[in-house]
Amino acid sequence: MSPFIEQLTTDQEKEMKRQLDVYRQGVQDIIPTEELAEKIAKSLVTNTPLKVKLGLDPSAPDVHLGHTVVLNKLRQFQENGHTIQLIIGDFTGKIGDPTGKSSARKQLTDEEVKENAKTYFEQFGKVLDMEKVELHYNSKWLSSLSFEDVIQLAGKITVARLLERDDFEERLAYGKSISLHEFFYPLMQGYDSVILEADIELGGTDQHFNILMGRHYQEKFGKEKQIAILMPLLEGLDGVEKMSKSKHNYIGIDESPNEMYGKAMSIPDPLMSKYFELITDLEPAEIAQIKKDLHAGSLHPRDAKMLLARTIVRMYHSKEAAEKAEQQFITIFQKGALPEDIPTVQWTGNNPESLVQLLVDVNLLPSKSEAKRMIQNGGVRIDGEKIEEVDLEVTINKELIIQVGKRKFVKLLG
Amino acid sequence: MSPFIEQLTTDQEKEMKRQLDVYRQGVQDIIPTEELAEKIAKSLVTNTPLKVKLGLDPSAPDVHLGHTVVLNKLRQFQENGHTIQLIIGDFTGKIGDPTGKSSARKQLTDEEVKENAKTYFEQFGKVLDMEKVELHYNSKWLSSLSFEDVIQLAGKITVARLLERDDFEERLAYGKSISLHEFFYPLMQGYDSVILEADIELGGTDQHFNILMGRHYQEKFGKEKQIAILMPLLEGLDGVEKMSKSKHNYIGIDESPNEMYGKAMSIPDPLMSKYFELITDLEPAEIAQIKKDLHAGSLHPRDAKMLLARTIVRMYHSKEAAEKAEQQFITIFQKGALPEDIPTVQWTGNNPESLVQLLVDVNLLPSKSEAKRMIQNGGVRIDGEKIEEVDLEVTINKELIIQVGKRKFVKLLG
C-alpha cells in the first residue's frame, strides 16, 4: 500500500516529516490523513512536485486575512517546491443562475472574468510567488462537454450521495427547493480535479463535500485520488463571527500599514494563537515557542500581539513599513503623543472662529451638532488640552494642533 | 380560459363531442381532462391538426397486442386528421447505460437504431397509416446540446419534483441507488415535447410522470402545454399479468391467422370488454352494444369472443383470413372434425412399422419414450380412433390420418 514511503532514504524521510509538520499546522482536517505522507514520499522519490489545487469563485474578489488562511497553506507547499493550481470557476460564472433566483450569481462576461482573475492575481501575489503558479479557467474543458459527456459524468454518481451534502439534505428535509442544476456544481469541481490530476485540494471546512467529489471522480476516471486539506474558518476582529467584509470585522490585505497594524492590535487575546498559525508565515517551531511563552507568562499578551501585528504588516507591505506602523502605534496609543505625519491646514477663514465651526471646516467632524456633542463628551483637545467650553472662540495666530477622539488630528497654521 | 370552445359553430361543436367520445374510450386518465375539449376546438376552429406524440424505446421491438393499446388510440387521432409524431429515443439508445449495470440498456449503433426503427415501421403499419406519420429521432436535437444548455435545462426543475416519481421515491427510501443520469431521461422526454410542440402525448399509465415532464418543460419554455393521455395496461391471456413476451401470455401482431384466432379464443371472459375497447377498431357505439347484449344475456360469451377473435385477425391480416381462421377453428375445436390442410407424408420406411417409431419418424413426437407416454395417456388416434396398445404395429397400405393431441395431424400415404 505504501511503496514510496518504503523507498525513502534517511534524509528524504526526515524531509518528509518536516514537510508533514508544516502542512499539518493549523489544519482542521486532512482526508484521508494517512495518505499525505505517501504523497510527499512520492514527490521526493520521483522528484516530482505535487499538484496542489485551489478553486476560486469568479465573482469580484476582495481579499482579506480570512482568505489568506488557505493562501498561506498554499504558500507552504509552494515554498517546498510544489506546484500551485489556481482554478477560476469561470464556466459557472458565465452561466450565472439559470433559475434567475440568485442575484448573487449574476452572469459574467469574458472580460469581467478576466478582470476579476487579474485582481486575484495582484492580491494573491502578496502571499504567493505568482510566477510559479498555474492558472486555469475551467471553461476550457467544461464548455466543450456534450450532453452525452454530461450523462456519462452523471452516471458516475448517485442521487443519494449528492443528497449527503449538508445543505442539500437540509433543504430537501425542510421542503426548500433544490434546483437540479445545483447538483452539477460539485460534479464540475470534481471533474476539474480529474482534468488537472490534482494531488491535493485545499479549501475551507465548508468545502468538505465538494473536495471529496474530486476524489470520487478521480477514482471513477482511473486517476490517483487527491487528498482534501480543510482549513478552519477564521473568526474576525469581533472574535465571534467568520471574518467577512459584510460583518466589518476584517483586515483587508490592501489596507495601509497603520490601519492594518491598528486593527491587528484589536484582535481578541484568545484568538492570537489561531491567527499566528493560520495567517502568518512564521515557522511552526517559532509559533510553538510563542504559545508556550504566552502560556508560561514569560511573554506578555500585548507584546505577542505586537509581534502578530508587525508580522501581518511585514507580510503585506515590508519590514520597514511594519516597524514604522509599530512606532506610530506606540506614539499615539501607548505614549499618548502625537503621530508624526498629521494633515496640515493653512487657515484662511474667519479669525477668530467658533471651535464648533472650525471642527466642521477642517473636516474633523461632519456637523456642528456632532462637534458640540464631541466637546461636551470631552473628546476635543487643542494643543493637548481638553476643551470643555462648547462656545469657545479660537484665534488662529500660531500653529495649533486640534485633536478629535484618539486618532484624528489636524495641524492648523494661522 | 376557453376561447376556441366559444368560437365553435354548431356543427363543429357536434364534431368536437364526437371526437371526445372516441378519444375517451378506454383511457385510464386524461390530464388535465378539461383541456382536451379545448385542444380539439382549437384544431377545428383553426383547421390545424393536433400533434399527437408517442415516444418509442429504440431497443429491438417485438410488437404484440399489449403495444397496440396506444397504437389504436393513435389510430383514432389519425383517422380524425391529426398528426402522429413517433419519436425514436435514439439519443439514450446510443449512450447505453453509463453505469454499465443494466445489460438491458446496451449501447446501440446508428445502424441498429435505424434497423429497429424500420421494424417498428413495418409492424406499426398494421395499425397506422405510416405515410402520414411523422418520424423523429431525438438525437437530432439532444446530441447538439452543450453542457451549458444542460445546466439551463436542469435549472428548470427541482430535485424534489424528480423524486416524486414513484420508482425514484421508493428506491431512495429503500436505500437503492439512483444514478444521477437517470434524472435526465424524464427531462429529455419533456424536452422532446418542447421541440416538437406536441399537443397530446400518449403512453401507458407507467408513463404518467414522464409525460407530465413534457407539460412542465413546455410551460418553462413558454409553449402551449400538452395533454397526457394515459392508457391502461392490458392483461395477457392468463388474465392476470401484463401482456408481455417474457410471460408467454401474448398475441403477437405478426402471428398467423390460425394462431391468432386460437389464442384470442383463450382470452378469459371477464377481459373481453377491455379487449374490445383497447385493441379493436370497432366504433364506441358498437362496443357499447356488445357489452349491453353480453350483460343482458342476449349475446353468448362464446359468440362475442368469436367476434373479438375475428376482428383481431381481420385487423392484422384480412377479412378473408379472419373468416378462414374462424372456419378452421370451428372445424377442429367445435365439431371435432379434421382441419382442411394437414401435412401429407408418403411413407417409404418399414411396412409394417411400430406405431411408436412411426410417430417419431413423421415428427409428431420427438422421442420414442414420449410417443409411448402419449399413447398411454390416450393422446394418439388413427383415423379418429383412440389407440391404447403401446406395442401396436401399423400396416400402411392405404391413407391413414394420425393425430397427436388436439391440433397435430399427419396424413400418411402408403
Q: Which residue of B has its CA nearest to A163?
A: B159
Tens of pLDDT, residue by residue over A61-93, are: 678 999 999 999 999 999 999 999 999 988 887
- Quote the pLDDT of residue B142: 95
What is the rounded distance in angstroms from the CA atom of residue B130 to the CA atom of residue A296? Answer: 93
pLDDT at residue number B153: 94
Query: A4-29: per-residue pLDDT in tens?
Result: 999 999 999 999 999 999 999 899 99
All cell numbers assigned to A408: 484624528
What confidence score (pLDDT) does residue B378 get? 84
Cβ–Cβ gap A91/B178 under 8 Å: no
- Put simply, the answer to whether A184 touches B97 (Cβ < 8 Å) is no
Q: Say which of B150, B160, B178 has its CB closest to residue A158.
A: B178
Which residue on chain B is closest to A151 by alpha carbon? B181
pLDDT at B212: 96
Mutate to test the interface with A, among B140, B150, B152, B221 (most CBs of A within 10 A): B150
Q: Which residues of B touch A93 (CB under 8 A)?
A: none
Coil, helix or strand at residue B6: helix
Cβ–Cβ gap B147/A91 under 8 Å: yes
**Would strands A200-204 and A227-231 be described as parallel, antiparallel, or unpaired?**
parallel
The band of A279, judged by pLDDT with boundaries at 50, 70 and 90, is very high
Least CB-CB distance to A142: which of B91, B147, B182?
A: B147
Chain B nearest C-alpha distance from A210 (Å): 16
Portions of chain B given CATH number 3.10.290.10: 344-413
Question: Distance between CA A145 and CA A153 in Å, rounded?
Answer: 10
Q: What CA–CA distance (Å, rounded) separates B285 from A46?
A: 85
Backbone angles phi, psi at A135, to 5 degrees: -110, 130
> How far A141 CA sits from the closest chain B CA (Å)?
10
CB–CB contact A98 B179 (8 Å): no
Rounded average pLDDT over A296-323? 93
Question: Per the CB < 8 Å rule, is B184 touching A99?
Answer: no
Here the ipTM equals 0.74
Taking CB atoms and an 8 Å limit, are B95 and A148 in contact across chains?
yes
Q: What is the pLDDT of residues A119-136, one digit of tens each?
A: 888 888 989 999 999 999
Pick the residue from chain A with its C-alpha nearest to B182. A155
Q: Which residues of A touch B162 (CB under 8 A)?
A: 180
- For B245-334, give the CATH class: mainly alpha
Among B146, B156, B158, select the one facing A143 at the smallest CB separation: B146
Block residue for cell numbers 471533474: A191
Cross-chain CB nearest to B142 (options A147, A154, A158): A147
C-alpha cell at A146: 456534450
pLDDT at A44 exceeding the cut of 70: yes
Please list every residue in chain B whose beta carbon sits closer than 8 Å to the beta carbon of residue A168: 159
In chain A, the residue whose alpha carbon lies closest to the alpha carbon of B99 is A155
Give the CA dihedral B244, B248, B254, B258, nearest 10 degrees: -140
Of B155, B180, B182, nearest to A98 by CB-CB distance is B155
Question: Do A180 and B168 lie within an 8 Å CB cutoff?
Answer: no
b/e code A51-82 from CB counts within 10 Å (16+ = b): bbbbbbebbebebbbbbbbbbbbbbbbbebeb
Cross-chain residue pair B177–A160, CB shorter than 8 Å? yes
Give the burial class of A34: count Cβ atoms within 10 A of its Cβ; 0-12 exposed, 13-18 middle, 19 or more buried: exposed
Are A178 and B160 an interchain contact pair (Cβ–Cβ within 8 Å)? yes
Facing residue for B158 by CB, picked from A149, A162, A180: A180
Q: How do residues A334-358 score in pLDDT, each as one tens digit?
A: 656 666 677 888 888 888 889 999 9
Please list the residue range(s) of chain A that carry CATH number 1.10.240.10: 249-334
Cis before A352 (ω within 30) = yes
CB-based contact B184 A151, cutoff 8 Å: yes
Residue A150's φ and ψ, nearest 5 degrees, are -65, -40
Note the pLDDT of residue A109: 82
Contact call for residues B81 and B49 (beta carbons, < 8 A): yes
- Strand B227-231 to strand B29-31: parallel, antiparallel, or no bridges (unpaired)? antiparallel
Task: Please tell me the distance in Å from B65's CA to the nearest CA on chain A.
Answer: 34
Return the sign of the alpha-carbon dihedral for residues A115, A118, A122, A123: positive
Dist. CA B203–CA B212, nearest whole Å: 11
- Residue B64 gets which letter from DSSP? B
Which residue in the set A97, A160, A181 is minimally distant from B172, CB to CB?
A160
Judge whether residue A245 has pLDDT over 90.
no
Task: Please list the residue range(s) of chain B that carry CATH number 1.10.240.10.
Answer: 245-334
Q: What is the CB neighbour count within 10 angstroms for residue A272?
A: 19
Q: Which residues pair with B354 in a beta bridge?
A: B393
Q: A183–B145: do the CB atoms touch at under 8 Å? A: no
Nearest to A342 by CA among A406, A299, A254: A406
CB atoms within 10 A of CB A228: 23
Q: Residue A325: its pLDDT value, please?
A: 92
Q: Which of A179-183, A391-395, B408-412 has the lowest mean pLDDT?
A: B408-412
- Contacts made by residues A164-170, CB under 8 angstroms, sequence distance 24+: A164/A209, A165/A209, A165/A210, A166/A209, A168/B159
What pLDDT sits at residue B60? Answer: 62
| Residue A104 pLDDT exceeds 80 | no
Interface size between A and B, measured as CB pairs under 8 A = 122
Mean pLDDT of chain A: 89
Q: What is the pLDDT of residue A321?
A: 95
- Inter-chain contact B152–A95, Cβ cutoff 8 Å? yes
Give, in order, the Cα–Cα distances in Å from B50 to each of B16, B44, B74: 13, 10, 11
Check CB contact under 8 Å for A143 and B145: no
Q: CA B305, CA B265: separation in Å to the nearest integer?
A: 6
Low-confidence ranges of chain B (pLDDT < 70): 1-2, 60-61, 96-97, 99-105, 333-340
Fold of B3-231: Rossmann fold (3.40.50)
Yes or no: domain B344-413 corresponds to CATH 3.10.290.10: yes
CA distance B143 to chain A (A): 6
Dist CA B163 CA B181 (whole Å): 13
Cβ–Cβ of A178/B155 closer than 8 Å? no
Taking CB atoms and an 8 Å cutoff, what residues of chain A touch B157? 179-180
Residue B114 grid coordinates? 435505424
Q: Taking CB atoms and an 8 Å limit, are A158 and B147 in contact across chains?
A: no
Cell of A109: 462576461
Report helix, strand or coil for A128. coil
The predicted pLDDT at position A381 comes to 84
Which 8-state DSSP code applies to residue B332?
Answer: I
Q: E strand or H helix at A119, and its extent?
A: helix A110-124
Cα–Cα distance measured from residue A85 to residue A132, given in angstroms and rounded to the nearest whole number:
10
What pLDDT digit, counting tens, does each position of B273-289 carry? 999 999 999 988 999 99
Of B91, B155, B184, the CB nearest to A154: B184
Contacts of B179 in chain A (CB under 8 A): 154-159
Interface residue ranges in chain A relative to chain B, Cβ cutoff 8 Å: 91, 94-95, 97-99, 142-152, 154-160, 162-163, 168, 172, 175, 177-184, 187
Which residues of chain B are at the A interface, by a Cβ-Cβ cutoff of 8 Å?
91, 94-95, 97-99, 142-152, 154-160, 162-163, 168, 172, 175, 177-184, 187
Q: Kindly tell me if the per-residue pLDDT of A359 is higher than 80.
A: yes
CATH of region A249-334 = 1.10.240.10
Query: Residue positions of A in the annotated binding site for ATP?
Result: 245
CB contacts, 8 Å: B187 with chain A:
180
